[in-house]
Structure 1
Amino acid sequence: MAFTFFFRDLPVLEHAVEYTLKLALGRLRIKVWDAGCALGQEPYTLAILFAERMGEMGFNTLYLDATDYDSENNFGDIVTAAEYKSEELQRIPPEIFGKYFEEVAGKPGYHKIIDRIRKRVFFKYNDLLGLQPVGSDYSLVVCKNVLLHFSYEQRIDVLKMYHRSLAPGGYFATENTQKIPREICHLFEQVTPDAQLFRKVGE
């Protein structure tokens, strides 16, 4: 589902970044997977939130895999270019907008994410129902506004895949309307009452 916007569901993303940084303190690499990234607004929001909390050198340890399945094959180009209509960016706080966006030369009415942020986000095509993760040892997996399109049984299978792909003690974040199915609730524990943010339990 392609519709979203920058800084959507901000509280859960802020919690996710805060807990992930505590977990990954001292690691050589912080791996994050944003599954169902659509046109890139969410992974770039995440990358900006990490950048705001990390120093220049620390931020270079972030590897954010942004994935989606797009039958028309254009999500990747849009995410990689990171260029958006200026009118779509009006929700972004002015201080963040001025710091992380710049005008697109020769393309009036468009702004793009600055290179420092864009270079930490790596787009990959992935069909979640294929149940093949794009990597492993993730400190954080984010999947918002995607699972609601799957059947109950499919959600269970996809969440098991996320559990396998997380590092020990890693975190899973989803939208507030989404719950962990009872059959696999033993695999995750909610870490804050203010957001659907869960810690991986067991191996």
Structure 2
Amino acid sequence: MRQIKREFELRDQEFQYIRDLVMTQTGIVVSENKQELIYSRLSKRVRALNLGGFDDYIDLLEDGRNKDEMVAFVNAITTNLTAFFREGHHFDYLRDHALPKIMERNRQSRKIRIWSAGCSTGEEAYSIAMVLAEKLGFDTWDWRILATDIDTDVLSSANSRIYSADRVTGIDAQRLQRWFRKGGGRNQGLVQIAKELNDRISFKQLNLVKPWPIKNEFDIIFCRNVVIYFDVPTQKRIFDGYARHLAGHGNLFIGHSESLHKVTNRFESLGHTVYKKRDS
């Protein structure tokens, strides 16, 4: 493998150590051809900490006393690509099929619980919240969304409710008017999501490859374009965990490039990467 010659040297053994640490901490498999990507993301941490190179950075991580830097390491590695109403057919299915069935099943409790796993900067969770608010309102149903991610930086961004205006292009005018407020003056070019949506969402840090501090049962779980970064044994553990936390006949939504084939038999495909939990 060729060595990277830039501001800092990233030796093969250092790259391998980082690959192993990423796997241990996040479950993400870093392929051998990602050396430049790793350099690009972590050299910023080396520079910010005024270290001499990657050897010093690895010493810092190995020391274990700087817990904040391990968090920063994970935040630097994880990928956060998302958009409002990404894979729009999922939100149509949620509105037209999944929610009516849940409303029938939960008509006595009038509670609905949804988990957005790997929520990144929050666009998915807020998209779900918009659908629920438009379908159910805020008064007669107790609906809540748990939105989790391993990256604390993106969770803070999501909880702020603030996005650049170019992030909401493509959302229809009625939704924009109802759920977004345009900034003025120093906030020109920014929009803020309505607080009433944020009030129904709990943004929490959670590492999918570590034990989950979750006791709730969910009616729906969104985990889209997340498990593609994990190996198959890790995917199986995660999907089996989702099955344990889904209510009977609950729905799982995954990304368009993902599949449960040869990973788990706990779900039945409903088409278009929507699944139903099988009877136990």
TM-score, scaled to structure 1 = 0.90
Q: Deviations over 1:58-103 (max 9, x none)?
A: 35x1110000001xx3222211111001122112111111111012
Q: What is the SS of the residue equivalent to 1:182?
A: coil
**Conserved 8 A contact 2:102-2:112:** no
Unaligned runs of 5+ in 2: 1-78
Alignment partner, residue 131 of structure 2: 49
Q: What is the SS of the residue equivalent to 1:48?
A: helix
Distance in 2 between residues matched to 1:46 and 1:14, nearest whole Å = 10
**Conserved 8 A contact 2:253-2:274:** yes
Alignment partner, residue 273 of structure 2: 196
Structure 2 residue 213 is the aligned partner of structure 1 residue 125: no
Unaligned runs of 5+ in 1: none
Alignment partner, residue 152 of structure 1: 232
Aligned-residue sequence identity (percent) comes to 22
Distance in 2 between residues matched to 1:16 and 1:133, nearest whole Å = 26
Tell me: higher relative CO, structure 1 or 2? Use CA pairs within 8 A at least 6 residues apart.
Answer: 1
Q: What is the SS of the residue equivalent to 1:23?
A: helix
Q: 90, 99, 109: which one pairs with 1:12? A: 90
Deviates more, 1:102-111 or 1:119-128: 102-111
Letter in 2 for 1:6: F
1:171-182 pair list within 5 angstroms: 171-182=251-262
**Conserved 8 A contact 1:16-1:140:** no
Q: Deviations over 1:174-201 (max 9, x none)?
A: 112211132522x11122x3x2111111
Superposition deviation, residue 55 in structure 1: 3.0
**Conserved 8 A contact 2:222-2:254:** yes
What is the alpha-carbon root mean square deviation over aligned residues? 1.7
Alignment partner, residue 102 of structure 2: 23
**Conserved 8 A contact 2:147-2:203:** yes
Q: 1:44 to 1:77 in 2, by over 3 A?
A: same
Q: 125, 149, 157: which one pairs with 1:68? A: 149
Distance in 1 between residues matched to 2:214 and 2:174, nearest whole Å = 34
Aligned residues: 197
**Conserved 8 A contact 1:136-1:165:** yes
Structure with bigger helix share is 2
TM-score, scaled to structure 2 = 0.66
Alignment partner, residue 245 of structure 2: 165
Is the radius of gyration larger for structure 1 or structure 2? Answer: 2
Distance in 2 between residues matched to 1:181 and 1:157, nearest whole Å = 14
